[in-house]
Amino acid sequence: MLSINRVCSALPTLLLLTLQVQAETIALSHFATDGLIGWSEKSFYGQTQYSIVERNGDKVLLAQSNNSASALYKKIRIDLDKTPYLNWSWWVNNHLGDIDEQQKEGDDYPARVYVIIDGGVFFWKTRALNYVWSSNQPKGATWPNAYTDNARMMALETGSAYLRQWRSEKRNIRADLRQQFGEDLRYIDGVAIMTDTDNSQGQAVTYYRNLFFSSE
């Protein structure tokens, strides 16, 4: 029979193992080992250059946009009941100045990460929630995309306060979708990364890393 002391001494280890099992994660990026395997590119205007580079000993995604707009996207079905949190880090070199991001001519962002709910054959039901590094909108602001009401924009960072610094983000996707679209959506069908400057005819350089979903 185990002594009470031995049982008590094992409790911290058992608790740690329990927490590890409970904290589920789904990695979206393995840039160091897999590069861009599993990611596809969609061009809207021109070609944003995406490449894997080494930065301070870490393999990260570099996005370089010069009057261009193309996105990297990954088709992946995520159950938001199990892993509702999207986590990532981004580093932005410059914002795009005094553009009006709520108008078509200013619909550009040095950095954006967005989730997609695919409407399938009912294409008009496809929706997207964009988390952006805004050039001038207040942090926390939300607004409809300039091209479609089925996409919403949310400013997580803004302006020049944190330029050239890594910023880590964590969002409860299910809660944000409910707030923005008024529906309790359990699944998303894809994630995209985009650095675009076509409407403002500008330039932007951004790094992305550590994209994953988590249960907490």
Q: What is the pLDDT of residue 23?
A: 74
Quickly count: other Cβ atoms within 10 Å of residue 152's Cβ: 21
Q: What is the pLDDT of residue 19?
A: 47
Architecture of domain 24-214: Sandwich (2.60)
Map out the domains of the chain as residue ranges.
24-214
Residue 179 CA, distance from chain mean position: 17
Q: Residue 32: which residues within 8 A CB-CB, separation 6 or more?
A: 58, 59
Stated pTM of the model: 0.88
Q: What is the pLDDT of residue 12?
A: 53
**Contact in structure between 69 and 41 (CB atoms under 8 Å):** no
Q: What is the pLDDT of residue 13?
A: 52
User: pLDDT (tens digit, 0 to 9) for every residue of the chain, 216 residues total?
Assistant: 445 455 345 545 544 444 445 679 999 999 989 999 999 999 999 999 999 999 999 999 999 999 999 999 999 999 999 999 999 999 999 999 999 999 999 999 999 999 999 987 566 679 999 999 999 999 999 999 999 999 999 999 999 999 999 999 999 999 999 999 999 999 999 999 999 999 999 999 999 999 999 999
Sheet strand arrangement including 151-158: 40-45, 69-79, 187-196, 109-117, 127-134, 151-158, 142-144
User: CA quadruple 134, 138, 143, 147: dihedral positive or negative?
Assistant: negative
Q: Which amino acid appears at position 195 of this protein? A: T
Q: What are phi and psi of 5, to 5 degrees?
A: -65, -40
Alpha-carbon distance of 79 to 186, in angstroms, equals 6
Q: Are strands 203-214 and 167-172 parallel, antiparallel or unpaired?
A: unpaired
- The per-residue DSSP string of 101-147 comes to TTSGGG--EEEEEEEEE--TT-GGG-EEEEEEEESSSPTT-EEE-SS
SS3 56: coil
* Matching residue, tokens 């306060």: 161
CA-wise closest residue to 181 among 156, 148, 138? 148
CA-wise closest residue to 139 among 116, 164, 162? 162
